[in-house]
Structure 1
Amino acid sequence: MSELPEGVRVRVLHAVYGDPRAAAELVPLLTDRQSAGLDPLPTQPSELAPDLLRSHRTEIRSLPDETRLLLLLAAADQYPVATHAFLRAVAAVRLDTRPLEAAEAAGIAHAGAGGVVFRDAWTRIAAYETGSPADRRDVHRLLARVLHGAGETPRRSWHRGAGALGPSGRLAAELRTAAEQARSAGQLTLSRALLERAATLCPTPSEQSRLRACAALHAWESGDADRARRLAATATPDDALTGLFALRAGNATEAFDALLTAAVQGGDGEGGQGRGNGEAPGSPGAARRRTTHAAPARATSAPAISATSAPTLHLLARATEAAVYTGDLRRCREAAGVAGRLGIGVPGTLGGLVAAFEGRYEDARGLLEAAAGRCGPGGDPTLLVHAGIAALMLGDHTRAATATVRAAASARARGATATVAQALEFRAYADFWTGRPQAGAATATDALRQAYATGQDNGACHLQAALAMFAAVTGDPDTCRERAATARSYALARGLGLPAALAQWALAFLDLADGRYAGAAARLRALAAFGPGHGHRAIRHLATPHYVEAAVRTGDTRVARAAHADYHRWASAVRSTDDLALSARCRALLAPGAEAVDHYRTALDLHAQGDRDFERARTELLFGSALRRLRRRTEARDRLYSALEAFEYFGAPHCATQARAELRALGAPATPAHGRADDPTTRLTAQQLLIARMAADGATNREIAARLALSPRTIDHHLRGVFSRLGIRSRIDLVRLLGDGGPAR
């Protein structure tokens, strides 16, 4: 398992229900492409752990017939769709449940308050698959008979379909309708199962293919990426699905082309037909040709929930996401042009990106404001994510946090597990800017696991870059470099300019905070590199204040002034107090001597109206340093103590070290009188403290590494640093220090 890529390892554990025996059996069975994450993992139990399943079947076959029948009924009620009708079914036909005692004696299952509790998921699957086809059909029909309550129609239809003898157009239509109801109720996993069953029963091959495409879409949205890809492979090629898969786990440029083509097909009514021109369906040329030679709308028997029926605006929104990930201005312009030719409004985030990248800042502000304003509760989660992106570009981090939190909540309510991790990707930016690095890192770490589990490796790459930035802020250089290297190597191969640039910024911030100004300036200049997977205009712009600081320290003020001028023009256009505060700080850094003081005061006044508290602390540090050089000792001391206290609160020890160095240069005590010198955990970085607490709770290095998506070697390095900083020698000492009787934070 340890040699597999992180995303594959997490998905393997997810596929085998977390059972280490099944995982150990599955890994040697994987092909090289599956092990590398290029092909989907198996989804059928018999392909996942055949030996384990065979062993469980043998156990169940040794039980009395009456016991096996009860176990089959219970398993059919729970797998592959949970319907919670076992007790009603038992009562309806007056089955005697005493034979379950044999299963309990064998340690296979036992009776519980709500029905039968199986020993594990594989035992439940074995109980179902041990039954004969005729017996399985009988128990499904029985369960369908007792499911007649409000809201139980989709599950009743599932059992009716599972109890069918052969193809039936009538049952297929019933299952398709039930799938629509399940989707509307936020039950995407059930909807996918209903569509798969409908495809099996449908007598029309073309309709079967379309139903599988719908099932693939629902599987993807519910977080089952491997099943989604396998279903899509058996369906009619669909640009919307192809683009969605590539957007979250493939090449972002290819995702853009496929999504734009799907948007054009939806806009001109082709519905995926008429591809006889010999051009690749995902090519921009094909998309442009369709906008100028739109065919009349055709009637189709595809169900209303088809992947190809997604609204054109929604597909353009997805194409916008691909453009955001690549940072490719040409593709942003192309998507905006397609929207115009189709006669629909350009999505606000897309139009705002184009205008901002072209330097039309006033136009960008209006478009982004319109997009950011669509962040009400209960909205479409994808559009809420776009509202969050727009708010981030405007510097409105409070609204960005609101939009992304609501996006995650809306996605959960709809059963769209895959979208939850995506919403949290952009929530990480808001946490970073508003000075919550520990909370942000915890959220991003959880989202990273979700992204890997749902097959969204592109999202995981973005989260790795965000975690690199959090590690830079909290002064954890080893974690920062490891996560940044992981993000950049993956991003370069898939044209992901956004995470590549964010990882580069994280490394630059680490250099800046540690006083390596030339290295920081060089890294930040590299953000201007052209081409997907390298730089990104938005990240380059956001990093301008840090670049100005590094450039001034290295004497390169000419380029720094030009960068600041553009940044100030943007800050003035969007009227963000935080951006204006950072612009004033840049002006102070560029000003000579005492002239800088007024600019620093302006910056702090503006910071007081904003929410970027961490940057406010860095402004106070720079101001205190400038005041010390001007021999204004009293005010310098106050500013530096304020910065030191903030850095300690944020868990940024390397920045706190800079503040202490300035205080020592002033001849002032390096710790304020109200400091927490009695708490030894203040000597640790946020990451070190997290790892120390896990170790004190008994977790092994390998377990900690799995939970934090780091290597065991890195965890070992961190623990050695913890022991050194705390002056201890063993985990026993760590338990004594951080256990119930130890200091708490």
Structure 2
Amino acid sequence: MSRFLTEDSERAVVITGEAGLGKTALIRRLSTTAAAEGWQVVHVLGMEIEQPFAMGGINQMVIGLRDYVPGLDDRDRAVLAPVFGGEPDANVSALPMVMALLNLLTVAAQTRPVLLVIDDKHWLDSISAAVLGAVGRRLTHPRVRIVAGRRTPHESVFSAVGWSKLELSPLDAESSAQLLERAGPPLTTAAKAAILTAAAGNPLALAELPRGADQIDDAGTLPLTDRLVVAFGRRLGQLKPGVRADLLRAALDGVAVGAHATNRSRYVMRNPQPAVDAGLLVVNSLGEIEFRHPLVRAAVIHQASSRQRRDAHRDLAALYEDVLVRRATHLAAAATAPDQDVSDLLANAAQLSIRRGGLAVAAEWLRRAAELSTEPEGSATLFADAVYFSARAGRHDEAQDLLGSTETGEEESPSAVMANAYLAFHGDGEVISTHRRVLDMLDRADTLDDETVNRLVNLLLSITNYAGDDEHRQRTNDVVDKIDTRVDPVILMYRTGITDIVTAAGYVRSVLRQYVDRLPLQEPRRVMQLAFPAYCVDAMTDFRVPLNEAYKQVREHGPSIDAMAMGCVVMFDLMAAGHWESAQQIGEDGLAMAQRAHGGELLRHHFLAYLGVLAAWQGELETARRYAAEVTEWSRPRGLQMYLHVTQRIAVRIALAESDYEAAYQAAIKVGPPGIFPPNNVQVGDDMLDLIEAAVQTGRLEEARAHTAEAVRLNLAEISPRVAALTLAISAMTASEFEAGDLYEAALTHSGIGEFPFDHARIALAQGMWLRRMRRHTEARAALEFARETFDRLGARPWAEQARGELRAAGASAKRSLGDAETLSAQERRIAELAATGHTTKQIAAQLSLSARTVDNHLYHVFPKLGITSRAGLSEALHQLDSAVGA
């Protein structure tokens, strides 16, 4: 449209689209631009009330150009006479009228160019619509333009044949969200979701619906403004009462109303044709009848009385005797008084929604179930559950409102303590007061039911882990020890960050083993509760797929605290497994969720912290510093030691990336001094490798050996196979030249390291550097090439560059040559020969009494030594190697 006034290719354009898509706004913008550039702008406005007036639209045009009528010849003036009201009995011929109007535009354009604007063309009388349509088709004057706006779907005699067409479409999801942000006051997450769904990309709806955001009912129905009712429900009044009642039941039962849509709704309209004829329903590509727009459905519901809606819900409930959620929600909407049976049904539906990850809707149903309950104690429990799940869903305002409506006594109830602590903890990172309040409530554990005790303990352990100091840990352990027999073992696994990690790791693995076979039966939150401890002990193999499926399921319901917490665990696992690009995407999505979910500041900084770690690994050092600074600034005044430890680790990784080993050492000893391992550090493996590397590189070999000896004495290898491999690695880095070789080989072939490519490559890099110092250049090049390839694949640029530098120092380019591959160990040679003859990994493992993982690790080492990438090249490579050695 910006070129419409300046280019000569199009002279008449019709803008079409649904009500509210911006046709009028676009036309007004064009009119303003034209007027500012010296065009004469003539307006014709179609109005429903004037549609019976013959030639009303032509009259508006001619009146706007009346000063130029004297410039027409007698014949044209005679043709236009009926337009001015003269000769009312004269017959009007379309073609002469078309030519007279074209001539009028030509005369007017002699002084200044003319823009004829026709808005709401669908409301023009039939003569004006037909004549002006023909004028646009025949327009040739270079100084005249016509723009018309027409609503669809709408019957009109106007034909756009011969006109250029611009069809407006709804906004996409991102643009809709941006417009809603600018439309008015801040909205709750639930209100935003309801508005975005109802608006379906309609700009007018996005501007109008927020006005009624505080009046959204239990079913998520939005009150419509007068403008929206006029735009989307205008034709409802033309339907007979029976058709409207039929349409109301279809609207309350779902979007589709046809018999083919039984998976979505069961109500079938008796006679949908009148609503189709009125443009309220359309037939889709599958032959199903559906509402033309979500706001048409909303308008149908909006214009019905409360009694009509209740009657419709009652009728619909009878269709769903076998579908819990549908029956419960329809009966709840039909209820006018407490009804225990309906309350029980709705509470059961809420539990089903929780198992599926739908926390927000579950909270709404629990609240309504509490209102319908006839049992005071049961009602109080349901209200407490509604508060709890509202908080978990990130709907903190709703949770506070619920608390305000239920708390009447002087003593704070358990649900109030739980909700207030949860809100303060997740919303503002408050650990000091929340820890005290939850502890005080658990001191009265003998008066609480087991479910409340478990929720409080779960929150207490989380708060304690984030506080990260000995005082909070000790007070937590003192309380939990008294009631641990009442606490779910899965929740007790979260003491891994509070008690001795070596001892806790064994308990965690024993609990996890009990759930491996039952994972498909667990609800999403339960999967997350299992997956995080599994991550802490490097046991994600069985939990990775269920965790990702659970995350997707919860994420589909929109931003929530649960979705963010689950996203954190998914991100940790992706980072450890070497899928850094995917980890970054999860982290960025987490930040976006935190912006939209009220009360997500704690987890927002969690994502920031680990995006900082990832940035340091990738060599994006300024980004890493910026994230670390932001997390530090937010965490320090709140006493969030866990986050401060992460930012210290970021500092270590930045220094290692810059090969500033003195700075790395100074940062590392702030996490844990040499020879000291905090018993509750779940990141012990990462930290000890960082410290040893920095210490060795700065010549602090005695400190490095003391740290290694303490790791061995504490038996840290019992934490996980990965930590066992890392313990072997730091032992190699600090061992004598006579012992180091075997220790490096043991670390690199350990079954616990293969799933952690960054760690694996760092050990290979250290081995390569040691081999080069031992002047074992061929073996050094093999280790360094493996490290370089892995770092490149991960995107760990600083470490890849370091490996390239070591390769150059070893007298080789980054690309290996086969002639250097003569130093296969005896075991590597035997495994390679068996693999070359077609033996599978399991067969080789059985023949050599090794584990399958060890065989794979050996092959992983052999391939770069031979300059190949798969088993297919083994036979030829071994043949060439023998030839080269023989020569």
Q: Please, what TM-score do these two structures have when normalized by structure 1?
A: 0.68
Is 1:632 the counterpart of 2:776 in the alignment? yes
Of 541, 558, 569 in structure 2, the residue corresponding to residue 398 of structure 1 is 541
Q: For 2:268 and 2:469, locate their aligned partners in 1 and report how far apart those are by CA, in whole Å.
A: 61
- The one of 272, 279, 282 aligned to 1:103: 279
**2:428 maps to 1:257:** no
- Alignment match, 1:371: 511
For 2:332 and 2:221, how far apart are their aligned partners in 1?
27
**What is aligned with 2:305?**
132
Tell me how far 1:556 sits from its aligned partner. Answer: 4.1
The equivalent residue for 1:739 is: none
Does the alignment pair 1:520 with 2:699? no
SS at match of 1:398: coil
1:384-413 CA distances to partner (integer Å, 9 max, x unpaired)?
434333333333343563674476488689
- 2:342 is the alignment partner of 1:169: no
The one-letter amino acid of 1:437's match is: W
Query: Is the CA contact (8 Å cut-off) linking 1:624 and 1:639 kept in structure 2?
Result: yes
- C-alpha distance in structure 1 between counterparts of 2:752 and 2:435, whole Å: 44
The Cα of 1:617 is off from its aligned counterpart by 0.9
Deviation track 1:187-236 (CA, whole Å, cap 9, x = no partner) reads: 65554443333445568888766544333334445565554444344333
Q: Find the residue that maps to 1:169 and give its secondary structure.
A: coil
Q: 1:425 corresponds to which letter in structure 2? A: C
State whether residues 475 and 653 of structure 1, in contact with CA within 8 Å, keep that contact through their aligned partners in structure 2: yes
| Residue 418 of structure 2 corresponds to residue 240 of structure 1 | yes
List aligned pairs for 1:105-124, cutoff 5 A.
110-112=282-284, 115-120=289-294, 124=297
Aligned-partner SS, 2:544: helix
Per the alignment, residue 806 of structure 2 pairs with 662
What residue in structure 2 maps to residue 158 of structure 1? 329
Structure 2 vs 1, CA of residues 414 and 589 (structure 1 numbering), >3 Å: closer, same or farther? same
Residue identity in the other structure for 2:312 = V
Deviations 1:504-563 (A, max 9, x none): 32342132123122332333333359xxxxx98434664221122123323444544444
How much does 1:579 deviate?
A: 1.5
Aligned 1:573-584 pairs, distance under 5 A: 574=718, 576-584=720-728
CA apart distance, 1:620: 1.2
AA matched with 1:513: A
1:60 aligns with 2:232: yes
**Does structure 2 retain, via aligned residues, the 8 Å contact 1:137–1:163?**
yes
1:554-578 deviation digits (Å, cap 9, x = unpaired): 3444544444334334554516332
Which amino acid counterpart does residue 511 of structure 2 have in structure 1? A
2:731·2:743 contact (CA, 8 Å) conserved in 1?
yes
Question: What SS does the corresponding residue of 1:435 show, helix, strand or coil?
Answer: coil
Alpha carbon RMSD of aligned pairs, Å? 4.5
Tell me the distance in 1 between the aligned counterparts of 2:495 and 2:531. Answer: 17
In 2, are the aligned partners of 1:221 and 1:419 still within 8 Å (CA)?
Answer: yes
Change (3 A) 1:63 1:487: farther
Q: Label 1:309 to 1:139 Cα distance change in 2 as closer, same or farther (>3 A).
A: farther
Q: Which amino acid aligns with 2:276?
A: L
d(CA) in 1 for partners of 2:651 and 2:302?
53
Aligned to 1:685: none
Q: Within 1, Cα distance between the matches of 2:733 and 2:392?
A: 48
Q: Does 1:651 align with 2:795?
A: yes
Q: How does 1:551-562 map to 2 (within 5 A)?
A: 551-562=695-706
Q: How does 1:475-554 map to 2 (within 5 A)?
A: 475-492=619-636, 494-527=638-671, 537-539=681-683, 542-554=686-698
Q: Is the 8 A contact 2:429 2:601 kept in 1?
A: no
> Judging changes above 3 Å, is the alpha-carbon distance between structure 1 residues 543 and 452 closer, same or farther for their aligned structure 2 residues?
farther
One-letter amino acid of the counterpart of residue 431, structure 2: T
For the 8 Å contact 2:564–2:594, the answer to whether it is kept is yes
- Give the one of 253, 267, 282 matched to 1:77: 253
Name the SS for the 1:669 alignment partner. Answer: coil
Read off the aligned partner of 1:139 and give its amino acid letter: A
Q: 1:45 to 1:181 in 2, by over 3 A?
A: closer
Would you say 1:433 and 2:609 are equivalent positions? no
Secondary structure in structure 1 of the residue aligned to 2:196: coil
Per the alignment, residue 342 of structure 1 pairs with 483
Q: Are the counterparts in 1 of residues 658 and 798 from structure 2 also a CA contact under 8 Å?
A: yes
Letter of the 1:661 counterpart: G
The equivalent position to 1:179 in structure 2, one of 328, 347, 359, is 347
* 1:560-579 matches, cutoff 5 A: 560-572=704-716, 574=718, 576-579=720-723
Residue 196 of structure 2 is matched in structure 1 by 17
Counterpart CA distance in 2 for 1:473 and 1:515 is 13
Asked if 1 retains the 8 angstrom alpha-carbon contact of 2:188 and 2:395, the reply is no
Decide whether aligned partners of structure 1 residues 58 and 402 sit closer, same or farther in structure 2, where only a CA change above 3 A counts: closer
1:328 and 2:493 are equivalent in the alignment: no
CA deviations 1:317-360 (Å, max 9, x no partner) are: 33222222332343344333323323616665776776876658
Task: Confirm or deny: 8 A CA contact 2:724 2:752 kept in the other structure.
Answer: no
Spell out, residue by residue over 1:617-660, the C-alpha distance to the aligned partner (whole angstroms, 9 max, x if none). 11111221222233222111111111111112222222211111
Is contact 1:216-1:228 (8 Å) kept? yes
Question: How far 1:668 sits from its partner (Å)?
Answer: 1.4
Give the counterpart letter for 1:590 in structure 2. Answer: T
Change (3 A) 1:405 1:343: same
* CA deviation vs aligned residue, 1:245-281 (integer Å, no higher than 9, x gap): 34543435258637xxxxxxxxxxxxxxxxxxxxxxx
Establish whether residue 463 from structure 1 lines up as the match of residue 607 from structure 2.
Answer: yes
2:346 aligns to what SS in structure 1?
helix
Identity %: 23
C-alpha displacement at 1:174, in angstroms? 1.4
- Distance in 1 (alpha carbons) for counterparts of 2:789 and 2:306: 70
Letter in 1 for 2:342: E
Contact 1:209 1:234 in 2 (8 A): no
1:549 and 1:417, CA in 2 relative to 1: closer, same or farther beyond 3 A?
A: same
Q: Does 2:320 align with 1:148?
A: yes
Kindly tell me: are residues 13 and 618 of structure 1, through their superposed partners in 2, closer, same or farther at Cα, counting changes over 3 Å? farther
2:642 and 2:496 mapped to 1: Cα distance?
A: 18
Aligned-residue offset at 1:590: 3.0
Aligned counterparts of 2:489 and 2:609: Cα–Cα separation in 1: 26
* Runs of 5+ unmatched residues, structure 2: 1-177, 256-260, 408-412, 674-678, 819-887
Cα distance, 1:485 vs. partner? 3.7
How far apart are 1:134 and its partner, in Å? 3.3
Aligned residues: 603
Gaps of 5+ in 1: 31-40, 259-281, 298-307, 530-534, 675-745
Kindly provide the CA deviation profile for residues 451-486 of structure 1, in whole angstroms up to 9, marking residues without a partner as x: 555444323322232222223223333443344344
TM-aligned CA distance change 1:480 to 1:536, over 3 Å = farther
SS in 1 for 2:574: helix
Cα distance in 2 for partners of 1:450, 1:78 equals 28
Q: 1:231 maps to what in 2? A: 402
CA distance in 1, matches of 2:681, 2:418: 27
**Distance (whole Å) between structure 2 residues aligned to residue 643 and residue 27 of structure 1:** 57
What secondary structure, in the 3-state scheme, does the structure 2 residue paired with 1:62 have? helix
CA distance in 1, matches of 2:525, 2:254: 32
Deviations 1:482-513 (A, max 9, x none): 44344444444554433443343234213212
Determine the C-alpha separation between the residues in 1 that align with 2:209 and 2:735. 61
Deviations 1:405-430 (A, max 9, x none): 47648868999975344233223333
Query: 1:70·1:100 contact (CA, 8 Å) conserved in 2?
Result: no
Matched, 1:312 2:491: no
